[in-house]
């Protein structure tokens, strides 16, 4: 019988799990490695903001404040999380500065979880180590635990660049004003130069790299144009399609929810799909045609893939504010289908031979999950060998791990809503209010769902992503 539930990570997924488990009557202990809650919203670069509208990105039973802007900042998101904690009275469940370093299955069920607790007032002190016994463990660490770094071998000359005063840093580390510190240090170093402007190169063309680069490009004339270097152009969209249709009408449209039809569609859903598919397909193709013209006109490069193979998924992002005006003012310069071949004392040389002067190189090369706290035998059970992804029954539990659940692996345009429903379903599952299927039934469903994803998106599809189908996902739970 489950009495004590441990929750690993107190980002938005961990908050939903803590609240729902506490509400269900379990004793909950939630560990967060950072000094504050919020996960990636707390430990993030300064200019992170929500790219979904606030009305479409909130806990299902707790809307965002009316006075928030349409796209709240990271600080506003963390304030919203604190308000959520206070409203539901779950503060006593949360332990900050506590990092999960190990979790071992117990004989007879449950887990022994090892925690390292640090003292924020004494950062050099040795962390306190303590073991906790829990009957069920909810992994809410998510997929953005650490930076995804290029190998040192792929960045020859980096040591010489840094020895000459250059900075190479991943967006993961640009929190607590660190970017401004790096910029000020660079300005002091270049004070005696004829051209005193700060020169920045961003490696990568995802959301984090775009946010950081565009935030710098618009400051003042003490900055040289920001150069973006990336191998593959990405699909993204301006806030308004064709200048007058808001993107929500495309991304959140009911027609998009059935393009393609959801896993195991009902007869009605199949009928709706067949009737609306021609209209939806024409809209998507027109959208793609317009985006390709838009990408060519601004010089970012056109993706090799069709928008149908990338939409609607979690890799699709919203164009940053002032992006087009910065391009028009030549504050942003793009080098698509390229890469950094080497560093030298004054900057970088690209694969095509282009030399770029640089003082700061921002690595916007993505993020990755952390499984180091799980024994290798357990990792082998949950991480699929063919594609390296986490495939779960209903995106929440694994048939071979009856004492562990996963919340935070339901990435969507409204991730918070999906986290909330997944946590609610999991609490009902633990209380016996949801039928517990056999291992064979769960594996059959899991594999059928995986085959459906691969047939639609190909084998490189991101398993945790339910974007574009979140209505059906929440409904099924």
C-alpha to C-alpha distance for 433 and 13, rounded to whole angstroms = 22
C-alpha to C-alpha distance for 414 and 232, rounded to whole angstroms = 26
pLDDT interval class at 103 (50, 70, 90):
very high
pLDDT interval class at 312 (50, 70, 90):
very low
Give 430 or 144, the one with higher predicted confidence.
430
> Does residue 50 carry a pLDDT above 80?
yes
Tokens matching residue 380: 């082998």
pLDDT per residue as tens digits for the range 447-473: 888 887 777 665 455 556 777 677 778
pLDDT per residue as tens digits for the range 317-359: 888 888 999 999 999 999 999 999 999 999 999 999 999 999 9
Cα-flanking dihedrals φ and ψ of residue 143, to 5°? -110, 10
Which residue, chain included where needed, has tokens 């209380």? Answer: 431
- The rounded Cα 297 to chain-centroid distance in angstroms is 29
pLDDT of residue 459: 47
State how far the alpha carbon of 391 is from the alpha carbons of 64, 240, 388, 398, 462, in Å. Answer: 31, 35, 9, 8, 10
pLDDT per residue as tens digits for the range 219-233: 777 889 999 999 999
State how far the alpha carbon of 283 is from the alpha carbons of 234, 271, 325, in Å. Answer: 20, 19, 27
pLDDT of residue 330: 92
pLDDT of residue 254: 61
pLDDT interval class at 424 (50, 70, 90):
very high
Helix (H/G/I), strand (E/B), else coil: 52 = coil
């Amino acid at each position: 019988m489950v009495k004590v539930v441990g929750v690993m990570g107190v980002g938005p997924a961990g908050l939903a799990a803590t609240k729902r488990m506490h509400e269900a009557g379990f004793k909950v202990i939630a560990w967060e490695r950072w000094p504050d809650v919020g996960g990636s919203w707390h430990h993030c670069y300064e200019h992170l903001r929500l790219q979904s509208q606030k009305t479409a990105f909130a806990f299902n039973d707790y809307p965002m404040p009316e006075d928030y802007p349409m796209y709240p900042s990271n600080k506003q998101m963390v304030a919203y999380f604190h308000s959520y904690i206070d409203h539901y009275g779950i503060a006593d469940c949360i332990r900050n500065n506590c990092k999960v370093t190990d979790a071992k299955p117990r004989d007879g069920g449950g887990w022994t979880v090892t925690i390292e607790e640090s003292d924020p007032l004494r950062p050099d002190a040795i962390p306190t180590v303590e073991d906790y016994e829990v009957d069920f463990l909810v992994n809410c660490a998510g997929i953005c635990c650490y930076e995804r770094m290029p190998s040192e071998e792929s960045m020859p000359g980096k040591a010489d660049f840094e020895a000459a005063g250059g900075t190479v840093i991943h967006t993961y580390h640009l929190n607590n004003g660190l970017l401004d510190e790096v910029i000020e240090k660079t300005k002091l170093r270049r004070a005696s130069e004829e051209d005193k402007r700060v020169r920045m190169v961003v490696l990568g063309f995802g959301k984090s790299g775009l946010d950081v680069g565009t935030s710098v490009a618009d400051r003042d004339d003490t900055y040289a144009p920001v150069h973006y270097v990336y191998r593959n152009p990405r699909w993204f969209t301006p806030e308004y399609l064709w200048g007058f249709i808001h993107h929500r009408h495309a991304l959140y449209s009911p027609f998009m929810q059935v393009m393609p039809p959801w896993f195991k569609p009902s007869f009605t859903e199949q009928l709706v799909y067949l009737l609306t598919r021609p209209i939806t397909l024409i809209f998507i193709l027109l959208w793609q045609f317009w985006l390709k013209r838009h990408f060519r006109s601004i010089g970012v490069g056109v993706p090799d893939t069709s928008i149908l193979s990338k939409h609607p998924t979690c890799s699709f992002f919203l164009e940053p504010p002032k992006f087009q005006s910065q391009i028009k003012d030549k504050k942003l310069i793009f080098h698509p289908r390229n890469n950094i071949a080497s560093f030298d004392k004054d900057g970088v040389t690209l694969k095509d031979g282009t030399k770029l002067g640089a003082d700061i190189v921002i690595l916007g090369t993505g993020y990755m999950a952390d499984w180091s706290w799980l024994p290798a035998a357990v990792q082998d059970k949950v991480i699929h060998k063919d594609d390296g992804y986490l495939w779960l029954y209903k995106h929440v539990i694994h048939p071979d791990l009856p004492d562990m659940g996963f919340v935070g692996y339901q990435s969507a345009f409204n991730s918070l809503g999906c986290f909330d429903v997944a946590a609610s379903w999991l609490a009902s599952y633990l209380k016996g209010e949801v039928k517990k299927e056999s291992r064979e039934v769960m594996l059959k469903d899991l594999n059928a769902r995986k085959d459906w994803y691969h047939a639609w998106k190909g084998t490189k599809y991101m398993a945790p992503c339910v974007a574009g189908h979140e209505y059906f996902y929440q409904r099924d739970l």
